[in-house]
Chain A
Amino acid sequence: MCPAPPSQAEQFLQCKSLTGKIHSDSYTFSNGMAAVARMRPDGSFEGQPKGFPFEDFEFEDVMLPEDDDMGIPSEDDEVAEEELETETGFGSVIVADNLPGVLPDKYDKLTGLLNRIYGQVGTVREGGINMPVDQETETSKGFAFIEFHTPQEAAAARESTDGYKLDRNHTLAVNLFDEIDKYMRIPDNYESPEQKAYAAQEHLRAWLMDKRGRDQFAIRFGDETEVYWNDAARSQPEEVYKRSFWTESFVQWSGQGSYLATVHRQGVAVWGGNSWQRLTRFSHPGVRLIDFSPCEQYLITYSSMEPSNPREKAKVLLNVFDTKTGKKLRVFDNSVDEFAIGTAAGPGGALRWPVFKWAGGPKDSFFARLGRNAISIYEAPDMGLLEKKSLKLDAVQDFEWSPAEPILCAYQAEQSGGNLPARISLVRIPDRKELRQKNLFSVSDIRMYWHPQGDYLAIKVDRYTKTRKSTFTSFELFSVKERDIPMEVLELASKTEKVVDFAWEPRGSRFAVLYGDGPRPTLAIYDMKSTTSKGVNCTVLQPNKQANCLHWSPQGKFLVLGGLKALNGQLEFFNAEDGEVMNAAEHFMCTDIEWDPTGRYVATSVTVVHQMENGFNVWLFNGQLLYRMPRERFFQFSWRPRPPTLLEPAKEEEVVKNLKKYSQKYEQEDQALLAQTDVDLLAERQRMMDEWKAWVASKQEWVAQNNAGIAAILGDAVQEGEYTVNEVEVEETLGVTEEIIRAT
């Protein structure tokens, strides 16, 4: 049987389906159904200008000027334009290759087979299968065009039938028609991409090699961002690097100080090395907040998008990047409601940063966020949900990781009206073993404070009194490193008093509490390891402190009591070991207090929340003011963090023991440095003086001319610098009246 040539209608349909569009006007013409316009009684038509000679008018005679269509597109142009609108019109066509070449007698059988195969995947258009035939041999060319109703179906068909085994010799190779062109353009010979020459990267921790062991800090004021050495021996900062408009909102050091991140509209850039070159860029348009993982392997960036429709919720986008390569590892894109749960919800529907909290430990392995009745824990480096399921905890409100190991402490709120008590649990990850748990009754609020080395955990519990009208505070103290994690309860001397601040001593077993209702709270320091008695023991108790925040030195032993805000910047440098105030000072209007990572210096700063006094002070740990640096519009002061020390504890102890021996050498160095500083200062002043004198000398001529001119104008009337004091007595008659005193 010979295949009938496609009928006229079939050809038309194919043409239509191949171009994807058909010009509808052609129907109206072919049907002879041209638009009918109503004729006026005088023979003219509606809308036609009167007086136009319609009778003897030949349409062909009308000529439009060339290249001018009078703003009216001709019918041909319209077709061209419509064709342009679709990409190519072949979006829903696929090409199935590797078909057997068939003679005309098998043609219908094969198309029927294809129709059956593709009918299962999507809807093949009627007559949408076209298999070109070689005119000479009359066999089909071994490929077919198949058209579906929608491009989506075509894509699905390609997915499912690419590699389909028709029989033993014929395996289908299916492509989208639109992509054929793209594949054709691939060169036949493989050219390996040019290998980039290896460029040695600068040492990212070179700053630690400073001979004098100084620390760096970054400040931001006005449009400037500057990095300085804290040159405490010379009581001045030394500039390292500065740049105007370096960041669009803030700068942030990574957890161990290797990188400095700047935040821009397009994303985040990370800088480092001695020359402060840009190391990596992280694209995240509209980024608002960033957070490095503690070992700075990863960077999480955050942005939120306000909805255009007020009824919708804001969208939140979080990206997880690899800091070194800049590769985007995971995207969290969701409505803000999915993240604002429990304590993660800040005031006004905002999120409390960081949304994702990193587990402590020598490696960045886990990070977690609060979910609804669960904590979702993700595992680095593949960033997937740990064991593909969240940690189920009913009514979980908050959690904190231990800074030292992957243990998290979760707080579940009271449920069913107090029948189910609030619960604290310590869970080890990744085995999800509950190490310790504790039920707490009539809880109003809980805050968790991990010891910086993860040795202890303090839970501040606010409980309702029996009447539920007020609350009182107590502490539950866990010794995490000990067997079975023993717990103690600490109640303040006066139960009703409000706790102002709480802080663990880093590298120690003490903690400090500031409590009291009035403006002068009490400072209490407790020790978890007491030699005299069992359990927690109060070592220092001092009332009447002008303070509202506590800042321990990162090395422990010393702390600064800050009286910020309403207290105008009172500072008390306190020795916790001896329980005495080393020095009381004031940095007027001070807003921020930050210890340097070595615990030697304290920086206090006044930022733009105040109009005046902007700038920062650097103090010695004992409260001696080293230097001040006033800066207008001061935004930020940030010490560069250091990685953990490599010295073993034994070695460290030895250094402390032989401190006298070591310090001698350094003191000498400092002395020499100070002498040099004085010399430098004098030289600088001399230079300024010389510069000034040179400027004055350059004006000498003008001065001489001017003086001559003055003399000429004023004449001899006034001799410079000469005048005499004359005593002048002025007698003024105010009035004369004559009166008769006595008439005789």
Chain B
Amino acid sequence: MRPYLLKGHERPLTQLRFNREGDLLLSCAKDKSPTLWFSEDGKRVGTYVGHNGTVWTADFTLDSTRLITGSADSSARLWDVETGESLFKFQFQEPCRAVDFSLGDDMAAISSDPFMAAPANIHIVRIEADISNQDATPVRTMSSDKSGRVSRVQFTDLNKTLLTSSEDGCLRRWDVEVGKMVEEKQTLKTYNTERPANSAAISPIYDHVLIGGGQEASQVTTTSSRAGGFTSRFFHKIFGEEFGTVRGHFGPINAVAFHPDGRSFTTGGEDGYVRLHHFDADYFSTRFLN
């Protein structure tokens, strides 16, 4: 099926996030307004206006009523999904790189970049159901000084621990209650892409891994257009072999995401486009590599 081409951003995409049910898709880009779309037909619902810099990241609450975004303007904001109203602002000294709601949505993890003399930090804030009680100060701050930027954070183990991935290529596990790193994760599988990989997602229904990337944007003009390899690539999760590619973007792919039901996926590129692909019927009938 032809993909929907969602044109709503003027700058490179940074992250794509579906809500739990998968009916809504939020796209974050280097322009200031995260944009909400209907995932079924790619209609734009609206934008969230308030940030004053690149929006790196976002997360929905489980019931899709609230949204948290992290921006390079050194703040993270809580939004009302439906009205687009900015409910609360967490102000930090450094750009925010990754956010994640905890299970039950009573906490959020926000990572900030190393900036000036400050190391990369992971802040845990409490999220109040009643916004008038909301407090801006983090309940815990863990500093990850050796890792470089912390690119993603994720609550695990029933909110007891936090998984972070960082620029040094290391996946770490942190104890939220103690505020210390407890483990550096071992690699289970490696997928060879031959060129930079910027984003990856695991299919919720099959043993498929979707990887997006391509030649670094700064290098694009130095080589032939075909050298870039700006393709979304499907790898078998267990065998590590590539079995399909999807072309379309004309810049490196910065963000990929699977729909929660695994029937569609979306990619966002340095070119400013979001492509919403729905799988054809034969994707579900073919047994790749098996």
Which A residues contact B (CB, under 8 angstroms)? 568, 588-589, 610-615, 630, 632, 685, 688-689, 692, 695, 706, 709-710, 713-714, 717-718, 723
Contact = CB atoms under 8 A, between A and B. Distances in A.
B117 interface: no
Given A695-B188, A723-B21, 16 more contacts: A568-B226, A589-B227, A610-B223, A611-B215, A612-B229, A613-B194, A615-B194, A630-B192, A630-B194, A689-B239, A692-B238, A706-B158, A714-B62, A714-B103, A714-B104, A717-B63
Contact of A710 (B158, B219, B223, B240): B158
Contacts of A710: 103, 158
Contacts of A717: 63
Closest 9 interchain pairs by CB? A709-B158, A713-B104, A692-B238, A630-B194, A612-B195, A713-B103, A688-B238, A685-B239, A568-B224
Contacts of B159: 713
B281 interface: no
A588 B158 contact: no
B1 interface: no
B289 interface: yes
B158 A689 contact: no
Interface of B: 21, 62-63, 103-104, 157-159, 188, 192, 194-195, 215, 219, 223-224, 226-227, 229, 238-240, 289
B227 A588 contact: yes
Contacts of A695: 188
Contact of B215 (A612, A692, A706, A723): A612
A586 B192 CA distance: 22
B159 to A, nearest CB: 8
A108 to B, nearest CB: 88
Given A688-B239, A695-B188, A718 B62 contact: yes
A288 to B, nearest CB: 30
Contact of B219 (A589, A611, A706): A611
Nearest to A693: B238
Contact of A612 (B21, B157, B192, B194): B194
A678 to B, nearest CB: 13
A544 B227 CA distance: 24
Nearest to A614: B194
A709 B238 CA distance: 28
Question: B-side binding surface: helix, strand, loop or mixed?
Answer: loop
Contacts of B157: 706
B38 to A, nearest CB: 13
B289 A685 contact: yes
Contacts of A718: 62-63
Contacts of A611: 215, 219
A689 B238 contact: yes
A632 B194 CA distance: 7
A255 B227 CA distance: 36
Nearest to B228: A612
A612 B227 contact: yes
Contacts of A709: 158
Contacts of A614: 194
A464 to B, nearest CB: 38
Nearest to A589: B227
B281 to A, nearest CB: 22
A718 to B, nearest CB: 6
Contacts of B104: 713-714
A661 B195 CA distance: 47
A648 to B, nearest CB: 47
Nearest to A695: B188
Contacts of B62: 714, 718
Nearest to A586: B226
Nearest to A706: B158
**Chain A CB within 10 A, most for which of B21, B158, B240:** B158
Contacts of B195: 612-613
Nearest to A568: B224
Contacts of B239: 685, 688-689
A568 to B, nearest CB: 6
Nearest to A710: B103
Given A688-B238, A689-B238, A723-B21, A713 B158 contact: yes
**Chain B CB within 10 A, most for which of A613, A630, A710, A718:** A613
Contacts of B63: 717-718
**Chain A CB within 10 A, most for which of B159, B195, B219, B229:** B195
**Chain B CB within 10 A, most for which of A611, A632, A710:** A611
Contacts of A706: 157-158
A624 B226 CA distance: 22
A688 B239 CA distance: 7
A588 B194 contact: no
Contacts of B192: 630
Nearest to B192: A630
B13 to A, nearest CB: 22
12 contacts: A588-B227, A613-B195, A632-B194, A685-B239, A688-B240, A689-B239, A692-B238, A710-B158, A713-B104, A713-B158, A718-B63, A723-B21
A222 B158 CA distance: 42
B39 to A, nearest CB: 13
A409 B195 CA distance: 49
Contacts of A723: 21
Nearest to A632: B194
Nearest to A725: B23
Contacts of B229: 612
Contacts of A568: 224, 226
Contacts of A713: 103-104, 158-159
B83 to A, nearest CB: 10
Nearest to B23: A725
A91 B224 CA distance: 73
A615 B192 CA distance: 12
A612 B226 CA distance: 11
B219 to A, nearest CB: 7
B25 to A, nearest CB: 17
Nearest to B102: A713
Contacts of A589: 223-224, 227
Contacts of B224: 568, 588-589
A718 B105 CA distance: 13
Nearest to B160: A709
A699 to B, nearest CB: 11
